[in-house]
Amino acid sequence: MLLLLLLLQLLLLLLQQLLIRLLLLLLLLLLLLLLILMLLLMLLPILMLLLMMLLLLLQLILRLLLQQLLILVLLLLLLLLLLLLLLLLLLLLLLLLLLLILMLLLMLLLLLLQLLLLLQQLLLLLLLLLMLLLLMLLLLLLLLLLQLLLLLQQLLLLLLLVVLQLLLLWYCYFYYS
């Protein structure tokens, strides 16, 4: 009878361990899918707009080769747009690096969880709480980085609108003069 109880306890412990692993893997998968979708939805319009702006600037530079001052201004604006694009890509790389760190931390926590499950159930609860806290902190950091990326996107859109207005004014001036 005692042996049967011990076997039942062991079976319950193994089932609990398997359920925790499955829940953690599902959480990681959902988090990665959500972040990839957010990044794609957020960066696709701004990259398309930047590409259109660069093409327009190149066309205007080729058309106005005789006005050297205007060429310099347009080249400076083009350089500024390229710098902003690089900054945007750097932020994207930083977010991807943060996702990689998050995955590595989750894998490490899963390994620690396996070891501690073999030792004691109380340690398992403590580790789960610490892991959830760490995940919440990393998610907060990701949200802050996404907020920064959104702010940069708004700034870039504003700058692009100003550049478009300047180019339109210059084009009208040289076309009608």
Please check whether residue 2 lies inside any domain of the structure.
Answer: no
Q: Buried (b) or exposed (e) across 8-22, using 16+ Cβ within 10 A? A: eeeeeeeeeeeebee
- On whether residue 33 sits in a domain, the answer given is yes
Q: Is 127 within the bounds of a domain?
A: yes
How far apart (Å, rounded) are the C-alpha atoms in residues 68 and 63?
A: 12
Res 66 pLDDT > 70:
no
18: in domain: yes
Reported as a pLDDT band with limits 50, 70 and 90, residue 21 is confident
Mean pLDDT of the 165-177 span: 78
pLDDT number for residue 107: 86
Better-predicted residue by pLDDT, 117 or 148? 148
Instruction: Please check whether residue 40 is in contact with residue 133, taking contact to mean a CB–CB distance below 8 angstroms.
Output: no
- Please provide the size of the chain in residues: 177
How many domains, the chain? 1
- What is the domain extent for residue 153? 9-176
Choose between 141 and 171: higher pLDDT: 141
Long-range CB contact pairs, 132-137, < 8 A, 24+? 134/105, 134/109, 135/27, 135/102, 135/106
Cα 29 to the chain's mean position, in Å?
15
- What does residue 22 show for φ and ψ, rounded to 5 degrees? -60, -40
Output the pLDDT for position 44: 76
Residue 52 confidence (pLDDT) above 80: yes
Give residue 95's pLDDT: 87
Least reliable range by pLDDT among 56-60, 70-74, 111-115, 162-166: 70-74
Decide if 94 is inside a domain.
Answer: yes
Q: Does 4 reside within a domain?
A: no
